[in-house]
Chains A and B, each alone.
Chain A
């Protein structure tokens, strides 16, 4: 008779359920929540059963199964219960857990037991039988009358004593109890720990390793925290970000956080070149080619003039080994190695520093992107949009009355939109409406693509014109024409796209934003592609006798400066003047919105320019850092003065993921391809720069490898590495095959877990139905008892169902749930067998 209950109770505790295959953590989170659900459901069912049993003993009468319950189970609807039933329902574990302290304690007791068992599983066999965690202890909530809160607490304390200090504090910290309770629990577990030295010593040997590990983790953690807080003190915008978050919510805040991320990327990118190129070259300055031109002020815009022959640009760097006294002959670093202890070859340093800087950026970018993906995408997150909106969308950061009201307005609109959309899905629109929609969308996209094509052609033609008419020495202003045109196009086209989007009338505002981002991105990337062709394809050919790298570096500098000026102008006119006009003239109370999508795209565009130019101008990241700092201040001031929070709903986590993805995929990847092409394929100019004698920049590395080969066997592994890893394609194939295999494996794991999730969901639904069934049984028993009491003079009915009969009823009804899940069934039977031995 006890056997079926064991079956029910054991389902969540099966080892197969705990030791899942390795999984992405979002999956395991979903699993955990299901796991808990099932656990509760089965506990609940067990309690119901026990309750039923008690009732049966009291009443001594139970009607034949299936007679009464069919009438009582409403199809999915909540049946009406008597007060007694309601009282029992209210004391079910699944409900008390959100309310009573005793239930929380017992839940955490269970978790601690699990934690301890998991931690000391190898020891389990060594223990005496009675020391094993008894199965009976799991159903603490089964008979709340006998186990009072104090007993539960002492059980929990006992369990806590079995844990290490760090683990215990961790468990206590995560408990949803108030501080006084936690303090009490902690003190108790500490006191008794001190008294009972024996078991602690025995555990001391065992958990020495884990203690050391925890200590290490704690030390690292506190070190990290200390570093972080130190960094925090340095940052100038500690308060600014808080203020923005409080007034405008998480969505606008994410723009500024993205800006901050970019700042960190640029600082990282700047660090290596600054240390290994700029610093070293500044310490060993080459001879100046002529008198430096005077500073006129225009250089700040054009980047030319007196800036040309400085560490700012590629052309300034020498192609020699720096700290050697001998004058190197024509062919590279052929000076004898004995002349200097540590020769510093500038071409090599240039190549490797840039490569390393890019590699580090790439790794950081990919890591942060994968992290963001892991955070923002959960399996099944597309389902349950209503519940998520209601439960999870209040932004507790908002602290201003006005912003709070705005958020309420936004949420109301969003909820109404959701409901309207839901209604729309249930009654799809007519064929005519759909046709009209398709035509509108097609036209809008056609217009957009046409505009993009027009812009690209315009840039191409203009760049050709610029090549045809070379700029003479006195007319550097004309160099600004191309950046001006490009920036104008970049400024104007988004407004056109916005107008088109208004005509399109998208149903969901989220889609509208993504479409806008997509269009602007295509435009910017097309223009940048044309420009890259212009620089590497055309300029290199026309600037044979000059330093084309310097020119490209300067050109990118000009683009960045011009882009910054236009951002300022846009802030001034698009936000300040527009607000003044709408307030003074139109008498509207609404301020302009802060357009997150466009501003973020501007940031990404600027960052792409920096990445493109860093090879030709190692100090370009410094310019970008300055630009970002200024932009932060200007945008923040303008935001505070002129703007209001956007009305569109944004999901902050999705947004930062999208931003990072855009930064990684078109932007960083494009820049990397451009630079790789420049390094491997394009001939460097022969008059300037570290690679002036070589055919390609990469040649420097090859020359070095050859030199090492000759140098002797000490460094023979470098040529070997070079030959097998870089030159041969086999390694590349191997790496990509490995990567593909890992991706495939992960996809399969996720797929399998998705299947398990749907099975478990079905199981929960069945359990829920069982619960309703049991409640109804209880109800019918109760009614019967009442009726029998009312008709007391009638003959007492014989018990229709004795204990064995009940068991057969149970067996015939219950296992249907499990028979649908053969895996679970086999696992539970295996567990039963284990408990019996």
Chain B
């Protein structure tokens, strides 16, 4: 871990960030296009478009590279590569989360929705970072909870959600009558237009009444935010060398 490959990528990525590829086309992703970039700006593309800082992006990239096989860890390859769900789900921050599959599916951009690219990974971290707005957090939370991807939370979604919260096992889930009662109550409380389902706005309306929501959704991945460095230094990597 942390071989010369990832260090190189770190430096190159720093280049990306500092020079910025606020260039003119998608080819800006390539290093040679970076050097041709006429208008160097202080802030990079990813720092502008995500809620992450430069450091966090670098750490995320390093983390992402760790999931790739050793020979594919160069910058270009890592930016193109996709990591399958099994590998992503193995990172400790997601391992214990009952919504981990949903989280990955929501953030995946591949057609079959079974793998994450580096940008998807950044997206995930951005939404779950401390600085993300409650609005975007609640939007993604809604999509995570919408198990059948139909745009509303119906009774089926709600019961799957409750099962995730209480545990899937036979002995841990609520009884059928309890579940029905609970879902009835939830719909009674939050389905304002009485169409039997909860849509995004109704969901956000409920969320806006709970101050804890953003806090709880904040640190899904511990390597988001400043705690990243803590995590890495705990693993014995000298992350502080560039941590200013």
Could you tell me which A residues sit within 8 Å of B by CB distance?
A: 29-30, 32-34, 36-37, 40-41, 76, 78, 90, 94-100, 169, 172-176, 178-180, 182-184, 186-187, 190-191, 225, 228-230, 232-233, 238-239, 241-242, 245-246, 250, 375-381, 383-388, 390-401, 403-405, 408-409, 411-412, 415-416, 419, 422, 651-654, 761, 764-765, 767-769, 771-772
Contact = CB atoms under 8 A, between A and B. Distances in A.
Given A96-B151, A390-B158, A390-B162, A384 B49 contact: no
Contacts of A29: 208
B194 A768 contact: yes
Interface string B147-169: 00111100000100110011100
Given A99-B151, A179-B119, A398-B96, A653 B199 contact: no
A393 B166 CA distance: 11
Nearest to B243: A233
Given A41-B193, A98-B142, A391-B206, A174 B201 contact: no
B24 interface: yes
B49 A186 contact: yes
Nearest to A241: B227
Given A390-B165, A399-B96, A179 B227 contact: no
A403 B213 CA distance: 19
A173 B158 contact: no
Contacts of A242: 222, 227, 230-231
B116 to A, nearest CB: 11
B222 A771 contact: no
Given A405-B167, A419-B181, A40 B201 contact: yes
Given A97-B151, A229-B55, A399-B93, 16 more contacts: A34-B205, A95-B150, A97-B200, A173-B48, A230-B244, A233-B240, A238-B227, A239-B231, A384-B209, A386-B182, A403-B96, A408-B98, A415-B162, A415-B178, A768-B192, A768-B195
A115 to B, nearest CB: 14
Contact of A190 (B22, B201, B212): B22
A765 B194 CA distance: 7
Contacts of B231: 239, 242
B91 to A, nearest CB: 10
Contacts, number: 266
B210 A391 contact: yes
Interface string B200-229: 111111111111110111111010001101
A178 B123 contact: yes
Contact of A392 (B98, B178, B200, B207): B207
A184 B208 CA distance: 31
A229 B225 CA distance: 10
Nearest to A79: B196
A111 B159 CA distance: 33
For chain B, what secondary structure do more than half of its interface residues adopt (helix, strand, loop), or is it mixed? Answer: helix
A95 B128 CA distance: 24
Nearest to A412: B166
Nearest to A34: B205
A376 B181 CA distance: 28
B204 A33 contact: yes
A764 B192 CA distance: 7
A391 B205 contact: no
Contacts of B192: 37, 761, 764-765, 768
Contact of B212 (A180, A379, A416, A651): A651
B64 interface: no
B238 to A, nearest CB: 13
Contacts of A96: 151
Interface in B74-113: 92-93, 95-99, 107, 109
A764 B206 CA distance: 15
Contacts of A392: 206-207, 210, 212-213, 216
B221 to A, nearest CB: 9
Interchain residue pairs A-B with the least CB separation, the first 5: A768-B193, A99-B151, A239-B230, A404-B96, A95-B151
17 contacts: A33-B205, A95-B152, A98-B146, A178-B107, A179-B46, A238-B230, A239-B233, A376-B211, A381-B211, A390-B165, A392-B206, A394-B216, A397-B220, A401-B96, A419-B178, A654-B211, A767-B193
Contacts of B109: 178, 180
A476 to B, nearest CB: 45
A83 B207 CA distance: 32
A225 B212 CA distance: 24
Nearest to B127: A176
A233 B228 CA distance: 12
B222 to A, nearest CB: 6
A238 B45 CA distance: 28
Contacts of A651: 212
